[in-house]
Amino acid sequence: MIEPASSVEAFRDAHAEVRDRIAAACARVGRDPADVTLVAVSKTVDAARLRSAVAAGLTILGENRVQEGADKRPDVPGASWHLIGPLQSNKARRALETFDVIESVANLDLGERLDRLADEVRTGQRVQVLVQVNVDADPSKSGALPADVDALVVGLMALPRLDVRGLMTIGRFGVGEDEARATFRGLRELAVSLRQQIPDLGPELSMGMSDDYEIAVEEGATVVRVGRALFGERPHRHQDGPGRAMGDAAPG
Ligand SMILES: *Cc1c(COP(=O)(O)O)cnc(C)c1O
């Protein structure tokens, strides 16, 4: 069995490899690699390994559970944290205390709650959010349906303490390149059409994971969320059930 990376050197190599692949994907479509942010998805990775990852320059971490991020953050200085999993409204306060960016806002009720709590928790600082879109209307995934995104974005942008940075989606699992690409293209086209009516919508498109981030970059991703290609395979999580519950993208 291959030992998962844990030394700073091993993380430097893994980081360089992913950045090289991002750069190559950018070159194929004439983009600047500096316009692609790498979020290192650190769910199930313990704080000691994360300190090595941060020392290797992986300074933006993504977690799909509020509690796990809250538990690890005090032990991992020097990183910023993105919430990439579904957020229940009873955990909104904890999420605001823990995360710098909440990528998974998919309904207006949650946005309103974050907006209300922001003054108490953030004292003046706006909350950076992305709007999660279920591009393929896949019933196993969370996210707003494409037909509802327009009204949702308008509603969220009216909330003074939210800074709507853009859109996020989770690609299809275990599909070929063309199908993966179709989802990412769908998100980009949705963003283009939204911006015709809502020019102030932020520029971010968070899409692409270990299996498909290069395709996502070719289709315009400004944020890629990469876990296994940096940290190795994750142990199976029993409480999630098999596979892909809770937005956990581990295949099969
Ligand atoms: C786990 C997860 C990822 C990363 O998946 P990998 O296949 O490990 O790269 C990205 N986005 C979300 C929402 C996730 O839950």
Counting from 1 in the atom list of ligand 1, the atom nearest the Cα of 85 is 13
Please tell me if the CB atom of residue 226 comes closer than 6 angstroms to any atom of ligand 1: yes
15: Cα within 13 Å, side-chain hemisphere: 22
Nearest CA to ligand 1 atom 8: 227
Distance in angstroms (rounded) separating the CA atoms of residues 200 and 166: 10
Q: Is 228 exposed, middle or buried (0-12, 13-18, 19+ CB in 10 A)?
A: middle
Instruction: Check residue 250 and give its pLDDT.
Output: 39
Please tell me if the CB atom of residue 82 comes closer than 6 angstroms to any atom of ligand 1: no
How distant, in Å, are the alpha carbons of 156, 185, 192, 195, 240 from that of 200?
Answer: 12, 21, 12, 7, 37
Instruction: Check residue 123 and give its pLDDT.
Output: 79
Please tell me if the CB atom of residue 52 comes closer than 6 angstroms to any atom of ligand 1: no
Distance in angstroms (rounded) separating the CA atoms of residues 213 and 211: 6
Token pair recorded at residue 136: 């393929």
Q: Beta strand 80-83 with 223-226: parallel, antiparallel or unpaired? A: unpaired
Residues written for the chain: 252
Distance in angstroms (rounded) separating the CA atoms of residues 96 and 136: 29
pLDDT tens, N- to C-terminus, the chain (252 residues):
455 667 999 999 999 999 999 999 999 999 999 999 999 999 999 999 999 999 999 999 999 999 999 999 999 999 999 999 999 999 999 999 999 999 999 999 999 999 999 999 987 789 999 999 999 999 999 999 999 999 999 999 999 999 999 999 999 998 999 999 999 999 999 999 999 999 999 999 999 999 999 999 999 999 999 999 999 999 876 544 334 444 444 333
Nearest CA to ligand 1 atom 2: 249
Cβ atoms < 10 Å from Cβ of 203? 12
Counting from 1 in the atom list of ligand 1, the atom nearest the Cα of 229 is 9
Counting from 1 in the atom list of ligand 1, the atom nearest the Cα of 251 is 7
Token pair recorded at residue 105: 């806002």
Residue 249 CA to ligand 1 center (angstroms) comes to 5
Return the DSSP state at 200.
T
pTM (two decimals): 0.93
Distance in angstroms (rounded) separating the CA atoms of residues 211 and 225: 10
Residue 120 CA to ligand 1 center (angstroms) comes to 31
Residue 85 CA to ligand 1 center (angstroms) comes to 9
Residue 62 CA to ligand 1 center (angstroms) comes to 8
Please tell me if the CB atom of residue 41 comes closer than 6 angstroms to any atom of ligand 1: yes
User: Which of 58, 61, 64, 105 has most ligand 1 atoms within 8 Å of its beta carbon, as the pocket-test mutant?
Assistant: 64
Residue 234 CA to ligand 1 center (angstroms) comes to 10
Instruction: Check residue 244 and give its pLDDT.
Output: 44
